[in-house]
Amino acid sequence: MAFGAAELRVLRRALAIALHPSAVQDGDVQDCLRLADSVDEVVREADRLRAFLLADLARYREALPGSLPGYTELLQDALAAGYDPGPDDLAALRALRSNPVCAALLARCQLLAERSLRARLAGRAAAAPGPRTRLLTLVGGRAAEKDKGKGKDKAAEPRPVAPARPVPGPERPVPKPSEVFPPRRRPVPPPAQRAAG
């Protein structure tokens, strides 16, 4: 985005107002508001041009290989404007990589797509929660409550934490396989079929 000489003067005054807000005149405020409106309009126009360029690029891509010169030119313009090539662009360039221009564009697009993917993954990794911490047994617990009743405050004393062991239960016999998986019995035919046979 380029500013003219008059716009640069307004921008300089806006910066001066930001540093010294006490000396603000109505004319300066109006100039700053007009400059902000102009910048907003330029941004909106850039978004409209970008949308038009991408729609045009999609039309040329669908008409490949007949539209090859126009497609490569539009793709180069889009890349210069900050476009991240998508899977459709990579597939189209791979199909046409026998053309030297397409081969060079494919190498450039693969590099840009890889950078974009890494940036997205890095953003996700930064937003993802960290690994869960393991829960540890606190020293004291019920044993400390029993000691309080006896007048001894052993909760404050450090104790080694032993790993939890399973509580032994009543002995249960291990079932036999025939109890778990009973044998299949052959179906008994109805009595009418036995009499006929």
Q: State the pLDDT at residue 117.
A: 87
**pLDDT tens-place string over residues 42-87:** 888 888 888 888 888 889 888 888 888 888 999 998 888 888 888 9
**Residue 21 pLDDT exceeds 60:** yes
> How does residue 104 score in pLDDT terms, banded at 50, 70 and 90?
very high
Residue percentage of the chain with pLDDT more than 90: 9
- Cβ(9)–Cβ(34) under 8 Å? no
Give me the chain's average pLDDT, please.
76
Task: Determine the average pLDDT of the residues in 136-152.
Answer: 54
CA 35 to chain centre: 36
Calculate mean pLDDT across residues 4-18.
78
Residues 6+ apart with CB under 8 A from 124: none
Q: Which of the two residues, 158 and 183, has the higher pLDDT score?
A: 183
Domain ranges of the chain: 1-62, 66-125
What pLDDT sits at residue 19?
A: 76
Cα dihedral across residues 91, 96, 102, 103: positive or negative: positive
